[in-house]
């Protein structure tokens, strides 16, 4: 006869299966609405982080990732976070569009990290050696929310 603990585990497993199915449907639906540039950026998820690099073969740091993604679309951007921020037009946080660049203060400098805004408060970036790969994060995440500096539009 099943124990109460086994029954709870079974119910939890069923709930996880159902929830993961819903999440994948939403991800697929929203992926269809991405611009070619953001779709390309999303295809690079999991690429290793590597400081000073800017290619899928060698890996990316944050500005190398952004520069590579935009370059793939024929748009030249400066190589450093600071230069990107200084050369682009600022946009209000409440007017973010897919493809805008989001900047963060992660080390005491207002422009020390950059990512590409996807949608629904999510952005894709190459965060750090510790994280180790290109991934999607949320502006609602406390860490990123507290460090948000500004947004710029290429």
Domain assignments of the chain as residue spans, ordered by start:
1-32, 34-153
End-to-end alpha carbon distance in the chain: 63
Average pLDDT over every residue of 97-117:
96
Find the catalytic residue in 22, 50, 97, 113. 113
Q: Does the pLDDT value for residue 21 go beyond 90?
A: no
Percent of the chain with pLDDT over 70: 79
**Distance (Å, whole) CA 147 – CA 144:** 5
- Give the pLDDT mean for 89-94: 96
For the question of residue 50 being annotated catalytic, the response is no
- Per-residue pLDDT, 116: 98
- pLDDT score recorded for residue 34: 86
Q: DSSP letter string over 32-69?
A: TTS-HHHHHHHHTTTPBB-TT-EETTTEE-HHHHHHHH
User: The whole model's pTM is what?
Assistant: 0.79
97 in active site: no
Active-site residue (options: 50, 68, 125, 150): 125
| 34-153 under CATH 3.90.1720.10, yes or no | yes
Running DSSP on this structure, what letter comes out for residue 136?
E
At 144 the pLDDT is 98
Q: Given 9, 22, 50, 62, which residue is catalytic?
A: 62
Query: Residues 36-50: pLDDT tens digits?
Result: 999 999 999 999 999
Q: What is the pLDDT of residues 139-148, one digit of tens each?
A: 999 999 999 9
Per-chain mean pLDDT for the chain: 84
Q: Would you call 22 a catalytic residue per the annotation?
A: no
Q: Which of 21, 25, 31 is nearest to 120 (CA)?
A: 31
């Amino acid at each position: 006869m099943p124990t109460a603990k086994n029954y709870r585990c079974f119910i939890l497993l069923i709930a996880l299966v159902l929830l993961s199915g819903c999440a994948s449907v939403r991800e697929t639906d929203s992926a269809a609405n991405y611009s070619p540039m953001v779709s390309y950026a999303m295809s690079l998820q999991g690429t290793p982080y590597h400081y000073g690099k800017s290619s899928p073969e060698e890996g990316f740091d944050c500005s190398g990732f952004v520069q590579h993604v935009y370059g793939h679309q024929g748009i030249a951007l400066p190589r450093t976070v600071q230069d990107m921020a200084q050369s682009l037009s600022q946009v209000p946080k409440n007017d973010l569009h897919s493809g805008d660049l989001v900047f963060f203060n992660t080390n005491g400098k207002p422009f020390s990290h950059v990512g590409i805004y996807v949608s629904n408060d999510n952005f894709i970036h190459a965060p750090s050696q510790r994280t180790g790969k290109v991934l999607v994060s949320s502006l609602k995440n406390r860490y990123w929310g507290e460090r948000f500096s500004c947004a710029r539009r290429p």
